Copies of this chain bind each other. A is one copy, B any other.
Amino acid sequence: MLNVDKQNATFLYRQVIELITENMDAGTLLPGDRLPSLRKMSKASGVSIPTVRQAYVELERRRRVESRPQSGFYVRHRAANDIVRPIRTTALKPVPLRCRSLMERVYDGINNPNLIPLGIANPSMAKPAAKTLHRTMKRVMARAEERSIGYASTLGEPALRRQIAYHYLDTFGAQVEPDQICITNGGQEALLLALTTVASKGDVIAVETPTYHGMLELIDSLGMLAVEVKTCPEEGVEIADLERTLLKHPVKACMFSTTLGNPLGVSMPDVDRERLVQVLVKHDVALIEDDVYGDLHFDGRRPVPAQFLGSKARVLTCGSFSKTAASGYRIGWVVGDEDIDEIARLKRAFSCSSGLLQQLTLAEFMASGDFSRHLKSLTPVLQRNSERMRALVAEHFPAETRTSRPVGGSVLWLELPEKVDAEQLFDDAIGAGISIAPGHIFSPCACYKHFIRLSFGHPWTDKTEGAIKWLGQRVHALK
């Protein structure tokens, strides 16, 4: 039954995964079928029971199988949509002009409150914590009165930095000193400070493809060049391709979302994170880890950021409350380790400090347990929205449409029939009162021309459903 290469010990569990998925794709294992028991599989393959379990758990994470208590693992009923396919380009690119002006129009759409907001990644709005935050802020105002309108320190309010450090400790046992954390004006300024710390004008930065457009604009604005690294639609960055890229280009830093990347909404497996930091050390390349969606896994489990894997890699991790609590507070942070002094110096030169009242409010929001409770109630809403959106896409878009399989966050990435121009669809959608994000802006060479990103990070309404149906019909017409 099994044909594993035992010499390749690291990948034994992967080979089990491949075997199972091949059997599912071939129709040998059908939805509802029970997988071979751990013991049986171990015996048949000669692979240890823990390794088989690791493979099954990973398949569960990818939502290909589901575990039933006291019974075993079963093949899931697959959604109608096939998964998006990888695209890859390797040229060094700044953001091209056409993409710049399209980016402007996308933001005009995002900033227009009269449109149905499928274009913006704003998960916290799916179940806003406004009431709790307002109550907390009023308490802070009463207590800190005059101080609360004054300057925060450059690194940020100590109470908030302690809470963030505690959150890391509590979530995955990572030891972070509060003084290694610099509070920023949201995750975007965190990326700016991290990138300016490790690279300068003319340097080459490796990014995932597809990747968050804000990174591309930032890299371009600083006069740097982006080079794309291939991703797997279910596991993020392909390490082998990263190594090829590092050999071929003089990459100064990588800027990756290792957890719940945008727009794919998937996370790197732990084994890839370990390999990632090894590769970084080997090639002496820094990693800027965009971790702003980290707390939004649907299953509540949270992979460990690369920074905390105990390697000697130079990693700067960027976090934010924009995606989890209050985007308008503009409070994010960088964890900097040895780079923290330089980060602080740049923070001071670029914007002095961040808003104190919001920092005091978020510190109390975390300390009271309200933040954890909020996350626990937010992620199921996001998961439900995600499933609804995928189901509606399967129903209303052409059959050849493929989608990502987000395991968290608030966005769905769609590969439309090749003839469909996403820019045209974007323009038509704006005309119909719907904002979406065309695929072009997620790559420095604007290659995702028949892709779009849809957001499910807002309260689900009839309007949302109507908008998805409208888009499906429009795609039918354009294909």
A residues within 8 Å of B by Cβ?
100, 104, 107, 110-111, 120, 122, 124-125, 128-131, 133-134, 137-138, 141, 145-146, 148-154, 185-186, 188-189, 192, 196, 200-201, 214, 217-218, 220-221, 223, 322, 325-330, 341, 345-346, 348-358
The residues of B that contact A111 with a CB separation of less than 8 Å are 153-154
The residues of B that contact A223 with a CB separation of less than 8 Å are 200-201
The residues of B that contact A128 with a CB separation of less than 8 Å are 146, 149-150
- Give the CA-CA distance A329 to B131 in the complex, in Å: 21
- Give the CA-CA distance A150 to B188 in the complex, in Å: 15
- Give the CA-CA distance A150 to B110 in the complex, in Å: 12
Question: Across the two chains, which residue of chain B brings its CB closest to A350?
Answer: B192
When all copies of this chain in the complex are counted, the total is: 2
**CB < 8 Å neighbour of A330 from B218, B349, B351:** B351
Q: Is the CB of B134 within 8 A of A150?
A: no
Q: Is the CB of A221 within 8 A of B345?
A: yes
The 7 closest A-B CB pairs, nearest first, are A328-B356, A111-B153, A149-B326, A221-B349, A217-B349, A189-B351, A188-B352
A218 to chain B, nearest CB (A): 5
The residues of B that contact A351 with a CB separation of less than 8 Å are 185-186, 188-189, 192, 330, 351
Given known A185-B354, A352-B186, contact A125–B107 (CB-CB < 8 A): no
- Give the CA-CA distance A245 to B137 in the complex, in Å: 51
Q: Is the CB of B330 within 8 A of A353?
A: yes
Query: Other than the known A120-B151, A330-B353, what 13 A-B pairs have Cβ atoms closer than 8 Å?
Result: A104-B345, A107-B154, A111-B154, A148-B328, A149-B327, A186-B351, A189-B351, A192-B351, A214-B349, A217-B345, A221-B345, A328-B355, A355-B358
Q: Is the CB of B353 within 8 A of A218?
A: no
A187 to chain B, nearest CB (A): 8
Question: Across the two chains, which residue of chain B brings its CB closest to A321?
Answer: B149
The residues of B that contact A110 with a CB separation of less than 8 Å are 151
The residues of B that contact A345 with a CB separation of less than 8 Å are 100, 104, 217, 221
Given known A111-B154, A345-B100, A352-B188, contact A148–B130 (CB-CB < 8 A): yes
Question: Across the two chains, which residue of chain B brings its CB closest to A120?
Answer: B151
Q: Is the CB of B348 within 8 A of A330?
A: no
Question: Across the two chains, which residue of chain B brings its CB closest to A113?
Answer: B147
